[in-house]
Amino acid sequence: MPLAFAWSDFAQQVTSGLAAGAIYASLALALVLIYQTTNVVNFAQGEMATFTTFIAWMFMDRGLPYWPAFALTLLIAFAGGVGVERVLIRPIEHRPEIVIVIMTIGLLIALNGLTGWIWGPEVKAFDSPFPNSSVIVGGVAISVRDIGTFCVCLGVVVLLWLFFRFTTLGLAMRAVAFNPDASRLMGVRVGWMLALGWGFAAVLGAIAGMMAAPTIFLDPDMMIVVLIYAFAAAVLGGIDSPVGAVVGGLLLGVVINLLGAYVNFVGNELRLPTALAVLLLVLVIRPTGLFGRRVVRRV
């Protein structure tokens, strides 16, 4: 139904777009982290996130308070990520890209099935450390939970940045991403750096899952669509740029809302296709994305 344009409405659309975008951004960040270190796009990233979120739910269902369950889940996610790299990806790392893509698709199918099998299809409420209430700023309702989610996502980005910038381990990982052969000569244990990359990505995924679950609720297919938005965000920002992933995620969240709200042809129905079409356009005009730096063209 057409509505006269109002700034408060516009601001509301932008704010809620940012909230949704923060979730896309954290999963996109996980994708970028893996791509940066191993040149692999992990199609199972969403399912890994769902699986670990269910583990967190299980802990809380058994009576563990939120933060211990949260921490324990991150540990398990880290171990899981490292394990996936060592067991599934390492043996095929020198095979063509498509083989690795298919491996992660195999993992996607298996994990999705496993999650449904273990925990069933019923929708589950998932706790959040932030209350589901809101503050009103200039006629715009801002959810406290959304602010919390947003801060967690930003906090993670800052932590990651500090890690890569100022720690030896972080520097080593960056070196491996930049030039594995040279790093090996310098004595960096390249294999373990890659595994660490997967571990951190799994942790990021788990955080994305646990931040998303309170608003979109927990079910086995929870992250499938989020993953698609995360892909779009990562590609939009430049698949090798963490900053790009965050900006891409937030931008995507806002643009989708605005398109749906203000462009009649798009409406509520074509929001996803339009977002993906925009994405395709960006890719064609600027294949490296908004913040991407290098063009990889293997000979």
Span 112-131, contacts to another protein by CB under 8 A: 112-114, 116-117, 120-125
- Determine if 206 is a binding residue for another protein (CB under 8 A): no
Stretch that binds another protein, among 63-71, 173-181, 187-195, 213-221 (CB under 8 A): 213-221
214: how many CB neighbours lie within 10 A of its CB?
18
Structure tokens at 12: 């509301």
14 or 243: CB nearest another protein: 14
Query: How many of the chain's residues bind another protein (CB under 8 A)?
Result: 90
HEC assignment per residue over 13-43: HHHHHHHHHHHHHHHHHHHHHHHHHHCCCCC
Minimum distance from residue 81 beta carbon to another protein (Å): 16
Task: Confirm or reject binding of residue 57 to another protein (CB under 8 A).
Answer: no
Amino acid identity of residue 235, one-letter, is V
Q: Which stretch binds another protein (CB under 8 A): 62-70, 110-118, 161-169, 177-185?
A: 110-118
User: Which range binds another protein by CB under 8 A, 48-56, 98-106, 152-160, 178-186?
Assistant: 98-106
Does 5 sit near another protein (CB under 8 A)? Answer: no
Q: Which of 93, 215, 243, 290 binds another protein (CB under 8 A)?
A: 215
Least distance from C-beta 287 to another protein, angstroms? 5
For residues 289 and 241, the answer to whether their CB atoms sit within 8 Å is yes
Closest to 245 in 3D by CA, of 179, 153, 178, 165: 153
- x-or-dash pattern for another protein, window 11-30, by CB under 8 A? -xx--xx-xx--x-------
Q: What does the block give as tokens for 105?
A: 């698709």
By C-beta, is 95 or 189 nearer to another protein? 95
Among 71, 99, 159, 263, binds another protein (CB under 8 A): 99
Binding residue (CB under 8 A) for another protein from 65, 68, 91, 155: 91
Q: Which of 209, 179, 176 is nearest to 195 (CA)?
A: 176
Site string for another protein, 63-82 (x = CB under 8 A): --------------------
Q: With binding defined as CB under 8 A, does residue 94 bind another protein?
A: no
Residue with tokens 């960006």: 282
Residue 185 interacting with another protein (CB under 8 A): no
Pick the closer one to another protein by CB: 161 or 217.
217
Question: Between 188 and 234, whose beta carbon lies closer to another protein?
Answer: 234
CA distance linking residue 131 with residue 80, whole number of Å? 30
Q: Name the one range near another protein by CB under 8 A: 9-17, 54-62, 171-179, 182-190.
A: 9-17
